[in-house]
């Protein structure tokens, strides 16, 4: 449980860093930049990527509602979004070999620091509680509490007396009242975004060693379409980007070039990439619809040595983003349950779908996989020998477990069959449907059969453009629609009939 929560917290913070970095670097066509000599040295130089945000301000905006579904955030993520301010720096190595040589469990090949500042002691106490739950080691040093997650190498969390939560590489030692220094250019650029709810800056000029190594590597290893852009970095000095929320949501970027001629080339390149993107968006799925809308909102122009790029996010994009986020969450739910099925099998050498000795047939298989879904406390309260609506189990059956569905009659169903172990799946684990999402459920703890015939009825009821989420016994999850042949779908419902599935 603790490792899962630790990874969740780290993942959310890394996502902040990644989104800001991707935003600035993708606009400049770069892979990264820094002015330091080695990420593994203990002597970190000034960082040249800087960013800041006001999470609580963004959290109250339509933009946040579009990219996040608050009720689905874990407790630590919710706390971070209540921070009054956030700032961070990233200093990448001067040679891309540091990334190519990365190994699982090794320290990060770059220096970084992210700090969240909170307004109240109550929020800080909640942060400490969450960090204590996930930490394998906690150390007190004066007014600073350090937290080290399981398996942490090269980084730490800390909470300071001035209501800051810090996530940092060890190469940026934590000193009271001090923040890692940025290059003068990065600091100047970031200050220009200070009034925005979020901003980022990158000093590209300081990146010559890294850029040279990327270009050198790319000439031999990148595909021809990418090689065409390898000369672009040498035309750039810096990138500044910020987010505007009112009166409309916009992402703005100012790309400083080495001269006016370079600015013209950069402008032509960006315009060409946008046009190419518009031409390639032929699908009608949600992701394509969103990308089309975003590309339609991109405006560019050059002013002297500067290229200005603005992306207006139209209001109707928000609804599609929310829909896409909900769909992604549903698919993730199926993945988690499929993983719990595999973990149950590893523990008991059988699938969880049939009751074990002394277990009630009126109790759903979903109850048996609860310990493998970080729900062991709920599982321990069930009397497995009694039905879901018995006096002993009724109040626990009323607890909503989001991974199984919305608690309103629709959710995840196992397609009933005789399989008890993997050997029974002679048609193949990747070709046999185990789960279907958004099926009629009733109470999640009730053993209400969902047959192949029920699944076929759902499939036949799909309208053009509607999709169905399926999870197969190998743990993979995907969406299908009514362009799949009915006989193919029916074949995937049977585990051992010997059909050949048409790909």
Residue of 356, 500, 341 lying closest to 415 (CA atoms) = 341
Instruction: Provide mean pLDDT across the span 360-371.
Output: 95
Confidence of residue 104 (pLDDT cuts 50, 70, 90): low
> Mean pLDDT lowest for which of 136-145, 283-292, 347-356?
283-292
Residue 336 belongs to some domain of the structure: yes
pLDDT above 50 (res 10) = no
Residue 373 corresponds to which tokens in the numbers above?
A: 């879904």
pLDDT above 90 (res 208) = no
pLDDT above 60 (res 293) = yes
Residue 389 corresponds to which tokens in the numbers above?
A: 């609506």
Listed ranges 209-218, 233-242, 319-328; the one with the highest mean pLDDT: 233-242
Q: How many CB atoms lie within 10 A of CB 339?
A: 15
Confidence of residue 70 (pLDDT cuts 50, 70, 90): low
Residue of 165, 126, 168 lying closest to 145 (CA atoms) = 165
Instruction: Decide: residue 246, CB within 10 A, 0-12 exposed, 13-18 middle, 19+ buried.
Output: exposed
Instruction: Decide: residue 266, CB within 10 A, 0-12 exposed, 13-18 middle, 19+ buried.
Output: buried
Nearest-angstrom CA–CA distance, 409 and 425: 30
Q: How many CA atoms lie within 13 A of 142 on its CB side?
A: 7
Residue 274 belongs to some domain of the structure: no
At residue 367, the pLDDT reads 96
Instruction: Provide mean pLDDT across the span 437-460.
Output: 92
Residue 178 belongs to some domain of the structure: yes
At residue 22, the pLDDT reads 37
Domain stop point among 164, 188, 203: 203
Using DSSP bridges, classify how beta strands 111-117 and 164-169 pair: parallel, antiparallel or unpaired: antiparallel
Nearest-angstrom CA–CA distance, 78 and 64: 12
Domain around 46: 2-203
Instruction: Provide mean pLDDT across the span 412-420.
Output: 93
State the distance between the two ends of the chain, measured CA to CA, in whole angstroms: 38
Assess whether 14 and 139 both reside in one domain: yes
Domain stop point among 203, 218, 243: 203
Backbone angles phi, psi at 318, to 5 degrees: -60, -45
Residue 78 contacts residue 9 (beta carbons within 8 Å): no
Residue 132 belongs to some domain of the structure: yes
Residue 387 belongs to some domain of the structure: yes
Instruction: Provide mean pLDDT across the span 1-30.
Output: 38
Confidence of residue 34 (pLDDT cuts 50, 70, 90): very low
pLDDT above 80 (res 63) = no
For the chain, percent of residues with pLDDT exceeding 70: 87
Assess whether 466 and 329 both reside in one domain: yes
Residue of 389, 372, 455 lying closest to 416 (CA atoms) = 455
Backbone angles phi, psi at 228, to 5 degrees: -65, -20
Nearest-angstrom CA–CA distance, 491 and 81: 46
> Mean pLDDT lowest for which of 152-156, 252-256, 378-382, 405-409?
405-409
For the chain, percent of residues with pLDDT exceeding 90: 53
**CA torsion, ordered 174, 179, 182, 187, to nearest 10 deg:** 170
pLDDT above 90 (res 109) = no
At residue 105, the pLDDT reads 63
At residue 68, the pLDDT reads 60
Q: Which residue has the higher pLDDT, 225 or 2?
A: 225
At residue 383, the pLDDT reads 96
Assess whether 336 and 476 both reside in one domain: yes
Confidence of residue 66 (pLDDT cuts 50, 70, 90): low
Residue 474 belongs to some domain of the structure: yes
Instruction: Provide mean pLDDT across the span 278-307.
Output: 85
Confidence of residue 458 (pLDDT cuts 50, 70, 90): very high
> Mean pLDDT lowest for which of 270-274, 448-452, 492-496?
492-496
pTM: 0.65
Residue 288 belongs to some domain of the structure: no
At residue 195, the pLDDT reads 92
Nearest-angstrom CA–CA distance, 118 and 281: 42
Residue 356 belongs to some domain of the structure: yes
**Mean pLDDT, the chain, integer:** 84
At residue 9, the pLDDT reads 42
Q: Which residue has the tokens 């001090």?
A: 178
At residue 72, the pLDDT reads 62
Domain stop point among 154, 173, 203: 203
Backbone angles phi, psi at 262, to 5 degrees: -65, -35
Q: Which residue has the higher pLDDT, 20 or 359?
A: 359
Confidence of residue 43 (pLDDT cuts 50, 70, 90): low
Q: How many domains does the chain have?
A: 2
């Amino acid at each position: 449980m603790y490792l899962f929560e630790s990874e969740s917290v780290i993942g959310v913070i890394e996502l902040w860093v990644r989104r800001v970095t991707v935003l600035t670097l993708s606009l400049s066509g770069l892979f990264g930049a820094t002015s330091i000599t080695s990420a593994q040295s203990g002597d970190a130089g000034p960082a040249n990527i800087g960013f800041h945000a006001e999470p609580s301000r963004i959290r109250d905006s339509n933009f946040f509602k579009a990219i996040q579904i608050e009720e689905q955030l874990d407790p630590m993520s919710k706390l971070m979004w209540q921070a009054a301010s956030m700032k961070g720096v990233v200093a990448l190595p001067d040679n891309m070999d540091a990334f190519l040589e990365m190994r699982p469990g090794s320290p990060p090949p770059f220096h970084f620091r992210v700090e969240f500042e909170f307004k109240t002691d109550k929020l800080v106490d909640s942060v400490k509680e969450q960090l204590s739950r996930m930490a394998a080691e906690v150390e007190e040093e004066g007014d600073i509490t350090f937290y080290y997650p399981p398996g942490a190498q090269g980084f730490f969390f800390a909470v300071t007396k001035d209501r800051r939560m810090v996530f940092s590489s060890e190469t940026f030692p934590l000193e009271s009242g001090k923040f890692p220094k940025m290059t003068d250019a990065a600091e100047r650029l970031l200050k220009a975004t200070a009034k925005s709810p979020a901003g980022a800056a990158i000093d590209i000029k300081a990146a010559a060693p890294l850029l040279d190594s990327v270009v050198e590597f790319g000439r031999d290893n990148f595909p021809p379409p990418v090689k065409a852009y390898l000369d672009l970095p040498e035309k750039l000095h810096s990138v500044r980007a910020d987010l505007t929320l009112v009166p409309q949501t916009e992402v703005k970027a100012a790309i400083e070039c080495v001269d006016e001629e370079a600015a013209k080339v950069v402008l032509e390149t960006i315009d060409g990439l946008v046009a190419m993107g518009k031409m390639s968006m032929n699908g009608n799925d949600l992701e394509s619809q969103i990308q089309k809308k975003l590309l339609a909102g991109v405006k560019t122009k050059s002013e002297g040595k500067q290229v200005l790029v603005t992306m207006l996010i139209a209001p109707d994009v928000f609804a599609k983003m929310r829909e896409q986020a909900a769909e992604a969450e549903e698919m993730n739910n199926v993945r988690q349950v499929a993983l719990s099925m595999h973990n149950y099998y590893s523990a008991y050498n059988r699938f969880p779908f049939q009751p074990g000795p002394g277990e009630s047939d009126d109790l759903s298989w979903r109850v048996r996989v609860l310990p493998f879904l970080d729900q062991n406390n709920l599982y321990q309260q069930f009397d497995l020998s009694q039905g879901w609506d018995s006096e002993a189990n009724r109040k626990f059956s009323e607890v909503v477990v989001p991974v199984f569905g919305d608690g309103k009659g629709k959710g995840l169903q196992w397609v009933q069959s005789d399989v008890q172990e993997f050997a029974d799946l002679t048609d193949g684990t990747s070709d046999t449907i185990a789960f279907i999402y958004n099926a009629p459920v009733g109470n999640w703890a009730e053993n209400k059969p969902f047959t192949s015939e029920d699944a076929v009825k759902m499939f036949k009821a799909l309208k053009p453009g509607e999709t169905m989420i399926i999870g197969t016994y190998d743990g993979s999850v995907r969406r299908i629609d009514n362009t799949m042949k009915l006989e193919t779908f029916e074949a995937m419902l049977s585990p051992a009939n010997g059909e050949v599935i048409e790909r």
